[in-house]
């Protein structure tokens, strides 16, 4: 029986390096196309998400489909694309969104019926208090949005303390309320930390 072939130091170093490259590559693929961690900053999604919580976003969901009403998503806002935000999808392409007297109504594409949506995920401070920008203004006047194709209308669950589609402005101060589908990075799948808050997020079903 021949003795096992002995490999030199360089072989072992190459083997370790190759394994590191493979692991880094696999992690990069997972983070790019499948799932990715994200830390919540601020209180714009109270009480659904809290400041400093770690969440896991599902990126694959939007490689195989499109965002839906009620999805909580991480995205790059049109006014500051370098800083990802987390908000809830309220309007999808073709929707007409009406905000009046603190309440949101939606007329879906192809429908002629404007229906108030049930937002049971809002806490008592924000229920029935979705106002025009600035969000804390208390302005109950009627405002309407027509969501273009390929774009979405997003709001934070903390309606009186969220910079969202009501507030986005360009450098000239003009309203830019809609978010491109390509700017939506993924759907929030679950809260990962703190351990006491671990849970998956359920997507609400609006009766429209």
Helix residue ranges per DSSP H, the chain: 9-29, 61-64
pLDDT tens digits, one per residue of 45-70: 999 999 999 999 998 889 889 999 99
Tell which residue, 111, 96, 93, 78, has the closest CA to residue 149: 93
Name the pLDDT band for 13 (thresholds 50, 70, 90): confident
Contact yes or no for 104/98 (Cβ under 8 A): yes
pTM of structure? 0.84
Among 36-40, 105-109, 147-151, 174-178, where is mean pLDDT lowest?
36-40
Distance of CA 25 to the CA centre of its chain: 26
Q: What is the pLDDT of residues 70-117, one digit of tens each?
A: 999 999 999 999 999 999 999 999 999 999 999 999 999 999 999 999
pLDDT at 30: 47
Residue 199, pLDDT > 90, answer: yes
Mean pLDDT to the nearest integer, 187-192? 94
Write the CA distances from 141 to 80, 98, 100, 113, 123, integer angstroms. 27, 10, 6, 20, 22
Q: Residue 32 pLDDT > 60, yes or no?
A: no
**By three-state DSSP, how is residue 85 classified?**
strand
User: Looking at the predicted structure, is the pLDDT value of residue 2 above 80?
Assistant: no
| 44 annotated active-site | yes
Bigger pLDDT: 4 vs 7: 7
Q: Which of 59, 87, 162, 167 is catalytic?
A: 87
Query: Residue 93's pLDDT is what?
Result: 98
Cβ atoms 180, 79 nearer than 8 A: no
Active site residue 109: no
End-to-end CA distance of the chain: 77
Q: Is the pLDDT of residue 10 over 80?
A: no
CB 36 within 8 A of CB 57: yes
Out of 2, 5, 36, 44, pick the active-site residue.
Answer: 44
Burial 103-118 (b: 16+ CB within 10 A, else e): ebbbbbeeeeeeeebe
The structural domains of the chain, ordered by start, are 9-197 (2.10.109.10)
């Amino acid at each position: 029986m021949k003795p096992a072939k002995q490999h030199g130091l360089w072989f072992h170093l190459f083997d370790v390096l190759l394994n590191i490259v493979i692991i880094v590559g696999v992690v990069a693929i997972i983070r790019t196309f499948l799932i990715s961690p994200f830390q919540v900053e601020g209180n714009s999604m109270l009480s659904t998400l809290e400041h400093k919580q770690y969440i896991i976003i599902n990126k694959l969901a939007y490689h195989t489909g499109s965002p839906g009403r009620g999805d909580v998503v991480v995205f790059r806002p049109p006014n500051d694309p370098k800083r990802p935000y987390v908000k809830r999808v309220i309007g999808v392409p073709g929707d007409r969104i009406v905000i009046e007297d603190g309440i949101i109504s939606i007329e879906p594409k192809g429908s002629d019926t404007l229906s108030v949506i049930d937002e049971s995920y809002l806490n008592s401070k924000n229920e029935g208090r979705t106002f025009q920008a600035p969000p804390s203004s208390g302005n109950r006047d009627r405002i309407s949005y027509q969501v273009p194709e390929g774009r979405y209308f997003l709001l934070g669950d903390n309606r009186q303390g969220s910079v969202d589609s009501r507030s986005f402005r360009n450098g000239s101060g003009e309203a830019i309320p809609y978010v491109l589908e390509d700017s939506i990075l993924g759907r929030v799948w679950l809260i990962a930390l703190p351990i006491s808050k671990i849970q998956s997020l359920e997507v609400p079903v609006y009766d429209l």
